Structure 1
Amino acid sequence: MSSTSARPASSTSEVTTGLALMFLSVMFSPLIDIFAKLAVVTVPSAEVTAGRFVVQALCMLPIVIWRRSFADFSWRQSLFHAIRGAIITISMISFVTTLKYMAVADAIAIFFVEPIMVTIFGGIFLKETIGWRRYTACGVGFFGAMLIIQPSFEEVGYIALLPVVSALCIAIFVLMTRVLSHREDPWSMQFQMGIWGLLFCAILLFIGEGSGSDLFDPVMPVGSAWFYVAGVGAMAAIAGIFGVYAYRAAPASTLAPLQYFEIVSATIFAWLVFGDFPDAMKWLGIVIIMASGFYILWRERRFASKPVSDTSEVTLAP
């Protein structure tokens, strides 16, 4: 998923451009998870996550240099960036681990309780005005997630809860990003996130070496595994760049509903690559989550001065 704030669009053509770029972003985003699911068969979750950070950081580095964003680095905020890096690392490792055992569409659908969590946390911690209607929609959305989690829990056990852990981490990450977004360049923030995330993955892999853990024991990728790991980072970078420029062209409140089409595109890609297709109960859960999300976004657009999902930095779903 992507979320960011942008300057007001100055023309209809800019809004149209923003919508087109956002559509491309949500079409590329599920490919991150497709490649991750292929990679995690032979490569531990932390190593797949580290690979993503490496490729993303390398893709962001030329942009940061070109924009001279190094000058905007706030080293006094290093602890804050380190915490964000740790949170995003936990989120990504949780989600990549999920993909080893669950269908991509199911995992992404459960993950999409994240905007609902952001809404709730925004009301609690940022003192944003959230009425009873949106809180009710949040409850309905969680019910939809349970419809997906319940049969998945019977199939894979507690692994089915990892997308919720991932969503919780991303919700916290988004709120922390909003605090920094008024003071720092979004590209430099994205780059620093990758560097800190890579550092934490390296620590976990160093500790896990020789443990036999399929999460933290590093291995040397063989054959196509190199391509899959690189694909995770490349797709994340491409989707992120599309997202950045989409939100620079059009308002976040206009683009946000398109994020939910990621569930649809993920279902299509997962069906084409793995033959996975949600059953009727899971489709019901997906529809409920999407409907509650659309309602929350509609209420934000109509009544809130700034949607709680706004940030100034693209945040991709794991």
Structure 2
Amino acid sequence: MSKAEPSAVKPQLDEHLGGMVICAAGMLIIPLMDAVAKWLAVVEGVSPGQITLARFVVQALLSAPFVIAAAGIGGLWPKRPMFNVMRGAILAIASLLFFLAVKYMPLADAIAVFFVEPLILTVLSVVVLREKVGWRRISAVLVGFTGALIVIQPSFELFGPVSLLPLGTATLFATYLILNRLGGTEDSAMTMQVAAGAGGSLVLLAASGAGTMAGVENLALRLDYPPSIWGLLFLAGAIGMFGHHLILLGFRVAPASLLAPFQYLEIVSAAGAGLLLFGDFPTASKWLGIAMIVGAGLYVFWRENKAARS
């Protein structure tokens, strides 16, 4: 190895470390949006369709001023418009399926089923992105997945038809993350957020409009909610925008397969939100699973940090 090679590699390793930190923060934030969505659906009776639509409208509205301030009105139009609209549509359908799931399932259980997603992401990163995945990364993903199984304590009822909802979310979200990586840096992260928010809003508006006319309860739209409900809808959208912005930033600088184990961190904030809002306290075995999940992500971080220092 030449003397120039270590100095050339170190910036990339530092970027990977930064990507892991940013992605981990985003993963811890996202379940808070899911908790607000569950509260709206179960306690307040808001349809998952309307919750998801509000989440994407708010994302577009909050992201737009940042883009205009940085690049003017023209910055709102992405260089790859159809690509970004497709990203938004995929994320919108994934979000709708998950909000439907948490209406009928405990939040931690729905997220635990969703945790097949890093495995799907790791496979897609090899097939689509041609990334090299070593045995340590694969092992970290498998350890995290084992922890998720301990948390969920699978049963026949859980893996019935309802469990297909977070499973569908997992598949679509893995596809969305791969598209984030493929999107590169042609557009700013905020421009991509606006485009994805607009694309998701259009898809959900069409679905919710059709559902309202057809009398489908889970897609119906209502406008007569009190200000407190609209405030919670805005809060869900704001949390979703901020969390996914962090995830998008992370995937722009670090390989998808490297970030896969950090998605298991979602169970930590999901468990906390479940306790505070719905009185669900994890058992000792579930805490063991959570420890395995966190440990898998920390192990990958430690490996990358060691490589950067050497």
Normalised TM-score (structure 1): 0.74
Distance 2:79 2:255 in 1: 31
Which position in structure 2 is the counterpart of 1:37? 38
Matching of residue 66 in structure 1 with residue 69 in structure 2: yes
Which position in structure 1 is the counterpart of 2:134? 131
Distance 1:78 1:227 in 2: 30
Distance 1:118 1:110 in 2: 15
How far is the alpha carbon of 1:54 from its aligned partner? Answer: 1.2
Distance 2:112 2:83 in 1: 29
Q: What whole-Å deviation, never above 9, does each CA across 1:134-159 have from its counterpart, x for those lacking one?
A: 33444444444444555365258322
When residues 163 and 244 of structure 1 are mapped into structure 2, their CA distance, relative to the original with a 3 A threshold, is closer
Q: What whole-Å deviation, never above 9, does each CA across 1:220-253 have from its counterpart, x for those lacking one?
A: 3533432321221122234456667899999999
Which position in structure 1 is the counterpart of 2:272? 268
Q: Once structures 1 and 2 are overlaid, which stretch shifts more, 142-151 or 55-64? A: 142-151
Which position in structure 2 is the counterpart of 1:78? 81
Distance 2:66 2:242 in 1: 13
Q: What whole-Å deviation, never above 9, does each CA across 1:88-119 have from its counterpart, x for those lacking one?
A: 01110111111112222333344344333322
Q: Is the 8 A contact 1:109 1:286 kept in 2?
A: no
Which position in structure 2 is the counterpart of 1:97? 100
Which position in structure 1 is the counterpart of 2:212? 209
Which position in structure 1 is the counterpart of 2:239? 235
How far is the alpha carbon of 1:213 from its aligned partner? Answer: 2.5
Distance 1:292 1:250 in 2: 17
Matching of residue 278 in structure 1 with residue 279 in structure 2: no
Distance 1:176 1:212 in 2: 34
Distance 1:110 1:200 in 2: 25
Q: Is the 8 A contact 1:153 1:159 kept in 2?
A: no
Q: State, as a whole percentage, how many aligned pairs show the same letter.
A: 38
When residues 297 and 87 of structure 1 are mapped into structure 2, their CA distance, relative to the original with a 3 A threshold, is farther
When residues 117 and 24 of structure 1 are mapped into structure 2, their CA distance, relative to the original with a 3 A threshold, is closer
RMSD over aligned CA atoms reads 4.1
When residues 294 and 113 of structure 1 are mapped into structure 2, their CA distance, relative to the original with a 3 A threshold, is farther
Q: Secondary structure at the match of 2:132?
A: coil
After TM superposition, the structure 1 = structure 2 runs for residues 64-213 of structure 1, keeping only pairs within 5 Å, are 64-68=67-71, 71-72=74-75, 77-148=80-151, 151=154, 153-155=156-158, 157-213=160-216
Q: Secondary structure at the match of 2:160?
A: helix
Distance 2:247 2:136 in 1: 29
Distance 2:131 2:19 in 1: 27
Q: Is the 8 A contact 2:97 2:169 kept in 1?
A: yes
How far is the alpha carbon of 1:293 from its aligned partner? Answer: 4.3
Q: Once structures 1 and 2 are overlaid, which stretch shifts more, 249-258 or 73-82? A: 249-258
Which position in structure 1 is the counterpart of 2:5? none
Q: Is the 8 A contact 1:43 1:214 kept in 2?
A: no
Q: Once structures 1 and 2 are overlaid, which stretch shifts more, 208-217 or 96-105? A: 208-217
Q: Is the 8 A contact 2:115 2:145 kept in 1?
A: no
Q: Secondary structure at the match of 2:154?
A: helix
When residues 255 and 77 of structure 1 are mapped into structure 2, their CA distance, relative to the original with a 3 A threshold, is closer
Normalised TM-score (structure 2): 0.76
Query: Is there any run of 5+ residues in structure 2 with no aligned partner, and where?
Result: 1-8, 12-17
How far is the alpha carbon of 1:291 from its aligned partner? Answer: 3.9
Q: Once structures 1 and 2 are overlaid, which stretch shifts more, 27-36 or 105-114? A: 105-114
Number of corresponding residues: 294
